[in-house]
Amino acid sequence: MIKRFLTALFLLPFCTFAQAPKYSNEFLQIGVGARAFGMGGAVAASVSDVNAAYWNPAGLVKMQTDHQLSLMHSEYFAGVAKYDYAAFATFVADKTAVVSASFIRFGVDDIPDTNELIDADGNINYDRVKSFSAADYAFLFSYARSSKKIINLSYGANVKIVHRTVGDFGKSYGFGIDVGAQYKLNNFTFAAVGRDITTTFNAWSYNADKFSSIYQATGNAIPQNSNEITLPRFILGAAYYSKIGQNFGLTTETNFNLTTDGKRNVLIAANPVSLDPTLGLEADFKKIVFLRAGVNNIQKTTDFNGKKNIEFQPNLGLGIKIKSFSIDYALTNIGGQSAAVYSNIFSLRLDFNKK
């Protein structure tokens, strides 16, 4: 049942000729790194490692080592959908700038293709059933540097290439640009991020030979080549770090996500700009052990009795850093308060310096 639902979800572009911009390339809003998941995605101001290439490229210059490598794997819907991420970042230009490359894949594999289930004689032949994958790919190439004129200011940008495939039925290519900045003022850090600031375009092309006559016989629409656009999204963030005694510290951060693709079901819904706030906390012991919590996906819902409620997604996280090796874990409930749909997310980070 779940696999059928996800198959329909990935084949949705085949059913429309003109695509609305809302929720385009939404797989790029999932996030990367278990630290960020544990804090509800509220990390635009505090992110300071290789994962900043995704959240805010300006944070790359705050890496504590010359090179960093990050890996993550997670699964959704009881393992039907798989989400993978890898990134590498390194300092250049006498440690005043950083370059990085990131890779993201979200896909559903082994989807049955029953187009040729019935042979020419009208017999059902299961040997003719094949399988295909529906997957979204993103490649991010990032550059960040510290400002020479303004102390404690850093800025950066991403060039991203998006590739989406649905077996041999269709594929698309897209291109977009993200920018970001961080500014530190005493114990505060402020951030601003603009995603898809140029509007990201995905050009879809379809393989007409893969759509057999049964599609027309059953009244299904045959897709045509089309363009899909992703409108800009802006993120404003503020983080505060405080020391508690000699060994403990606490980072508190809030982010405000502003979408420009029309009214969404978020805390402050409006047209064309909606506001989706997130909140994250991170307590650390000697920067070795980390405990995290966060709240995001705050939505308004209506139950069967017509009563309106506010629901949110709770998140918890744990991190351990041992010398150059860091492992982070996050437990998220994507079902909110009304349903328990838990996901366990692990990510690894390796830090190393030049000899």
- 123-135: pLDDT as tens digits: 777 777 888 889 9
* pLDDT of res. 334: 66
3-state secondary structure the chain: CHHHHHHHHHCHHHHCCCCCCCCCCHHHHCCCCHHHHHCCCCCCCCCCCCCHHHHCHHHHHHCCCCEEEEEEEEEECCCCEEEEEEEEEEEECCCCEEEEEEEEEEEEEEEEECCCCECCCCCECHHHCEEEEEEEEEEEEEEEEECCCCCCEEEEEEEEEEEEEECCCEEEEEEEEEEEEEEEECCEEEEEEEECCCCEEEEEEECHHHCCHHHHHCCCCCCCCEEEEECCEEEEEEEEEEEECCCEEEEEEEEEEEECCCCCCCCECCCCCEEEEEEEEEEEECCCEEEEEEEEEEEEEECCCCCEEEEEEEEEEEEEEECCEEEEEEEEECCCCCCCCEEEEEEEEEEECCC
Q: Give the span between the Cα atoms of 324 and 68, in whole angstroms.
A: 9
* pLDDT of res. 9: 36
- 254-274: pLDDT as tens digits: 999 999 988 888 888 888 899
Q: Is the dihedral of CA 105, 88, 43, 349 positive or negative?
A: positive
Share of residues in the chain with pLDDT > 90 (%):
56
Of 350, 304, 345, 348, the closest CA to residue 74 belongs to: 345
Rounded to two decimals, the pTM is 0.85
| 284, pLDDT greater than 80 | yes
Neighbours of 17 (CB within 10 A): 11
Averaged pLDDT score across all residues of the chain: 86
- 292-312: pLDDT as tens digits: 999 998 888 777 787 888 888
- 110-159: pLDDT as tens digits: 888 877 777 667 777 777 788 888 999 999 999 999 998 899 999 999 99
| 164, pLDDT greater than 90 | yes
Per-residue pLDDT band at 336 (split at 50, 70, 90): low
- 86-106: pLDDT as tens digits: 999 999 977 889 999 999 999
Residue 267 CA, distance from chain mean position:
20
* pLDDT of res. 212: 61
Q: What is the mean pLDDT of residues 194-207?
A: 89
Q: What is the mean pLDDT of residues 221-245?
A: 89
Per-residue pLDDT band at 176 (split at 50, 70, 90): very high
Residue ranges of domains in the chain: 2-184+198-232+324-352
* pLDDT of res. 20: 47
Q: Give the span between the Cα atoms of 228 and 20, in whole angstroms.
A: 7
Per-residue pLDDT band at 25 (split at 50, 70, 90): confident
